Amino acid sequence: MNRELMEALDVLEKEKNISKDTLLEAIEQSLIQACKNHFGKADNVHVSINPETCDFSVYADRTVAEFVEDPALEISLAEAQKINVNAEVGDVVKVQIQSKEFGRIATQNAKNVILQKIREEERKVLYDQYYGIEKEVVTGIVQRVMGKNVSINLGKADAVLSENEQVKGEVFKPTEHIKVYILEVKDTPKGPRILVSRTHPGLVKRLFESEVAEVKDGTVEIKSIAREAGSRTKIAVWSNDPDVDPVGACVGMNGARVGAIVNELRGEKIDIINWDENPAILIENALSPAKVIAVMADPDEKTALVVVPDYQLSLAIGKEGQNARLAARLTGFKIDIKSETQARESGDFYDYEEEPAEEAASDDTLEEEPEEAAEEV
């Protein structure tokens, strides 16, 4: 039993997470390479390794010849009969090769083959490990700032947080712990190249999954997310359980759950609204905290006209159009917002203007009912 080799393989398997079978294959290839370097060719060489004991043997198939012209491929009859007394000219016999016969260069090349295989397997193991958590959120440690990019240590590999994936205004200090979204894992000759993000909407979704048990177990679904990183995010949620309030579950007691996410995102505001299959209701919810008088949505054209009270127009549109922009991205509709006065002047509100007094009174009563507003933090 080759105890030293077995112990070495066990250590590599444990520390590098490289299977013993892969390492034995590397040893086999290295022995064949050593034969090739020593004899000039190795097409007729076979290696046998016992995976239980790690004992190995190297054999070469050589043809019995009356006159030997190529010692690497042929063997004399006299030598062949020492191995097999019944050998005859033309027969093929297995000749054992002693690895200690290899020269220094052949041995060094064999060692390089093993080391190269170990490096390749290390890269493959690392790639598989991080590729398996692509689109997930992990905690990393800020290593250093490289120009406009930031190097983040994820444990066994470093990731790159590029300028485009950084939230404007965020400043990172070395050794600082931050949560990042694994955007992409690429396989390269130098190991996995991991790209991470702080701006991707998936970061917010994964943070809710980690903070809100109902989201993690599927009771509450995040149907849509629209985000302007560093400023505001709108998310639409739906409950598969009629007894569970999706907005309340995401907000948590005294805002504890959403508050933890806001802190991780360094103060980014988060609006949580109820998802609805009716596009008009969904658009009305998405424009919260603004009040809405009417929504006329065209599901085929994915367009919607929204009428709001005159004093709510600026709130509905939002600072620099942010509220309307996020609502449009959240719902997938192109939204045109008009004040009540503008809608009446353009004729878009004509039907409402001509309503009988009884219906108008009924509408007034409905408007006085408290509307469901989004939870904002």
**What are phi and psi for residue 168, nearest 5 degrees?**
-60, 125
Residue type, position 152, single letter:
I
Q: pLDDT (tens digit, 9 = 90+) per residue, 87-115? A: 888 888 888 777 665 666 656 766 777 78
In this prediction, residue 58 carries a pLDDT of 81
Asked if residues 69 and 133 have their Cβ atoms less than 8 Å apart, the reply is no
Q: What does 224-280 look like in DSSP terms, one character per residue?
A: EEEEETTTEEEEEEEESSTTS-HHHHHH-GGGHHHHHHHHHTTS-EEEEEE--SSHH
Rounded to whole angstroms, how far apart are CA atoms 27 and 320?
65
Asked if residues 286 and 273 have their Cβ atoms less than 8 Å apart, the reply is yes
Rounded to whole angstroms, how far apart are CA atoms 71 and 62?
8
Asked if residues 375 and 258 have their Cβ atoms less than 8 Å apart, the reply is yes
pLDDT tens-place values along the chain, 377 residues long: 456 767 777 777 777 777 878 877 877 777 777 777 766 666 777 777 777 777 777 888 888 888 888 887 888 888 888 888 888 888 888 887 776 656 666 567 667 777 888 888 888 888 998 999 999 999 999 999 888 899 999 998 999 999 999 999 888 899 999 999 999 999 988 889 999 999 999 999 999 999 999 999 999 999 999 999 999 999 999 999 999 999 999 999 999 999 999 999 999 999 999 999 999 999 999 999 999 999 999 999 999 999 999 999 999 999 999 999 999 999 999 999 999 999 888 876 654 444 443 444 444 444 444 444 455 55
Question: Which among 369, 292, 370, 366 has a CA at the least distance from the CA of 327?
Answer: 292
In this prediction, residue 371 carries a pLDDT of 43
Q: Which long-range contacts (C-beta less than 8 Å, at least 24 apart) are formed by 39-46?
A: 39/71, 39/72, 40/72, 41/72, 41/73, 44/72, 44/73, 45/97, 46/94
Q: pLDDT (tens digit, 9 = 90+) per residue, 334-377? A: 999 999 999 888 876 654 444 443 444 444 444 444 444 455 55
Domains in the chain: ranges and CATH? 3-130 (3.30.1480.10), 132-199 (2.40.50.140), 277-377 (3.30.300.20)
Q: Cα torsion at 358, 360, 364, 367 (round to 10°)? A: 130
Query: Which tokens sit at 243?
Result: 């007894």
Query: Which tokens sit at 150?
Result: 């930031």
In this prediction, residue 33 carries a pLDDT of 74
In this prediction, residue 268 carries a pLDDT of 94
Q: pLDDT (tens digit, 9 = 90+) per residue, 317-330? A: 999 999 999 999 99
SS3 6: helix
Asked if residues 334 and 296 have their Cβ atoms less than 8 Å apart, the reply is no
H-helix or E-strand spanning residue 329: helix 322-331
In this prediction, residue 2 carries a pLDDT of 59
Question: Which among 57, 29, 183, 4 has a CA at the least distance from the CA of 121?
Answer: 29
Rounded to whole angstroms, how far apart are CA atoms 266 and 250?
18
Query: Which tokens sit at 8?
Result: 């070495």
Residue type, position 124, single letter:
K
Number of H helices, E strands in the chain: 14, 16
Rounded to whole angstroms, how far apart are CA atoms 227 and 330?
9
pTM over 0.85: no
In this prediction, residue 99 carries a pLDDT of 64
In this prediction, residue 215 carries a pLDDT of 96
H-helix or E-strand spanning residue 186: strand 177-188
